[in-house]
Amino acid sequence: MSTISSVSTRPAASLSASTLRVLFLSSLGGMLEYYDFVIFVFFTPFISKLFFPASMPEWLRQFQTFGIFSAGYLARPIGGVLMAHFGDLRGRKKVFMLTVLLMAIPTFAIGILPTYQAIGAAAPLLLLALRILQGMAVGGDLPGGCVFVAEHAKEKTGLAIGLFMAGPASGAALGSLVTTIIEFKFLPEQIIGGAWRLPFLLGGIFGFAAMFLRRYLAETPIFQEMKKRAVIAKEIPLRIIFRDHRAAILPAVGSAWALSAIVIVVALMSPTVLVKMYHLPLRDVQLANVIGILGSSLGGILVGAAVDRFGLRRLIAPILLLSIGGIYLLYLGPGWMPSALPLFSLVAGVGISALNMAPLAIVRAFPATVRFTGVSFTYNLASALAGGTTLLVVSWFSRSIPLFPAHYAVALMLVGIVAMLLAPIARSEY
């Protein structure tokens, strides 16, 4: 099989130093993405008070703030497809440089944005515009990173994707840690007085640094070979996807939707849910959440290496048992033994880490000539669906079904695993 046709998962030697450098620099955008998710969700109660009129009911202010958050997800398919189009035609690296810059600018700008008290209705409108710009940039970065890493790693794609996905998980852990520090160091009135801006400013600075470091990345060997052989797509890549690769779309969307939604439920929403269910100290829950996210990172790396060696099908049974057990342990365990919450969170994080292989299934489903577009379109469509509905659905049903987040997360695991198994492997020469 040509190296251009698909990304192999045969066992090979350990990753080279150059590939590890590519992995690190590629993962910086995903780190910023998930860092921003965590801090925005955590500071939603403060943002809702600052960017909407005080006369508005609190539930409506918070609902509209979640709506602004979701708007970033809904913008992802547009930005992702646009950037992926040029990624397939002009090169992966050029787009990869642009996306992280377009992520950093709005993150930093949110940190200096005037509030409703200062500029009135323009404040939430500007916040909405920045979230849309963020979403469009993110739409090109994380899918592009998956393609970039897989095409550099060649025969160790499972391990490479596992390491790459540790970046977003680490960003979520970093976001949880920063919010915990802010909550520990500042009183609520100090946070609403300006301390809430600090995590956004730090995220923006981090993004600018990531853009600078990405200058040292090289174009992927597969795209260079495509360019050398003059096999770059002659038509609009998205048109080719719908014409020739329709069978890959639904499994790719299903696996990416499960990944995105379970991150929101387990990593972003579980601290709030557990505090409400068991009246635990927020700091303790946040620290346990960091441990769980790091467990997901480690588990994803181990699962990736195992997939390279054994294949996904042989791992299904233990993966499902661990994930289902870990999820219910996270939501039920604190009622039996609150002091063991860090352990419960760690087990749940490792359990859900198999979904970190969703990008591998998606990358393998499309040939190299339209791979960036295929990955970006399906991943971002799924993320828009997940981000636009998960917070609202889980919040609504949790009012009458306290364990609904656990049931929903288990259903997501099942959907994600089945979708990955059904995803085809592109075998055409290019």
Are the C-beta atoms of 322 and 367 separated by less than 8 Å?
no
Residue 12 lies in a domain: no
Give percent of the chain with pLDDT exceeding 90.
30
Which residues, 6+ apart, have CB-to-CB distance to 114 below 8 Å? 122, 123, 126
The pLDDT tens digits of the residues spanning 306-332 come to 988 888 888 888 888 999 999 999 999
Per the structure block, which two tokens stand in for 396?
């609504």
Cα 289 to chain centroid distance, Å, stands at 16
**Nearest by Cα to 386 from 138, 54, 177, 14:** 138
> Which pLDDT score, from 0 to 100, does residue 59 have?
77
Are the C-beta atoms of 30 and 142 separated by less than 8 Å?
yes
Helices (H), 52-121: 58-74, 76-90, 92-111, 116-119
Residue 130 lies in a domain: yes
Per the structure block, which two tokens stand in for 389?
């509905």
Residue 206 lies in a domain: yes
Are the C-beta atoms of 251 and 382 separated by less than 8 Å?
no
> The domain containing residue 126 runs over which residues?
17-422
Which residues, 6+ apart, have CB-to-CB distance to 102 below 8 Å? 133, 134, 136, 137
Are the C-beta atoms of 346 and 325 separated by less than 8 Å?
no
> Which pLDDT score, from 0 to 100, does residue 339 have?
92
Q: What is the CATH number of the domain that holds 141?
A: 1.20.1250.20
Residue 133 lies in a domain: yes
Count of domains in the chain? Answer: 1
Q: Identify the burial level of 246 via C-beta atoms within 10 angstroms of its C-beta, where 0-12 means exposed, 13-18 middle and 19 or more buried.
A: exposed
Q: pTM to 2 decimals?
A: 0.82
d(CA 231, CA 430): 8
d(CA 208, CA 311): 38
What is the chain's mean pLDDT, rounded?
A: 85
Q: Is the pLDDT score of 216 beyond 60?
A: yes
DSSP one-letter code for 17: H
d(CA 372, CA 142): 11
**Nearest by Cα to 256 from 172, 395, 425, 142:** 142
Residue 412 lies in a domain: yes
The pLDDT tens digits of the residues spanning 114-124 come to 999 899 989 99
Give percent of the chain with pLDDT exceeding 70.
95
Under the banding of pLDDT at 50, 70 and 90, the label for residue 188 is: confident
Higher pLDDT: 226 or 204? It is 204
The pLDDT tens digits of the residues spanning 22-37 come to 888 888 888 887 788 7
Residue 6 lies in a domain: no
> Which pLDDT score, from 0 to 100, does residue 427 have?
60
End-to-end CA distance of the chain: 10
Residue 410 lies in a domain: yes
Torsion angles phi and psi, residue 269, rounded to 5: -95, -25
Per the structure block, which two tokens stand in for 343?
């352990």
Which residues, 6+ apart, have CB-to-CB distance to 296 below 8 Å? 169, 267, 349, 350, 352, 353, 356
CA distances to 5, 74, 248, 420 from 47, rounded to whole Å, are 47, 20, 40, 37
Per the structure block, which two tokens stand in for 226?
């495509």
Q: Identify the burial level of 317 via C-beta atoms within 10 angstroms of its C-beta, where 0-12 means exposed, 13-18 middle and 19 or more buried.
A: exposed
**Nearest by Cα to 329 from 348, 355, 354:** 348
Under the banding of pLDDT at 50, 70 and 90, the label for residue 421 is: very high
> Which pLDDT score, from 0 to 100, does residue 11 have?
42
Sign of CA dihedral 58, 69, 410, 77: positive
Average pLDDT over every residue of 227-251: 87
Hey, is 234 helix, strand or coil?
Answer: coil
Residue 5 lies in a domain: no
Per the structure block, which two tokens stand in for 70?
């979701």
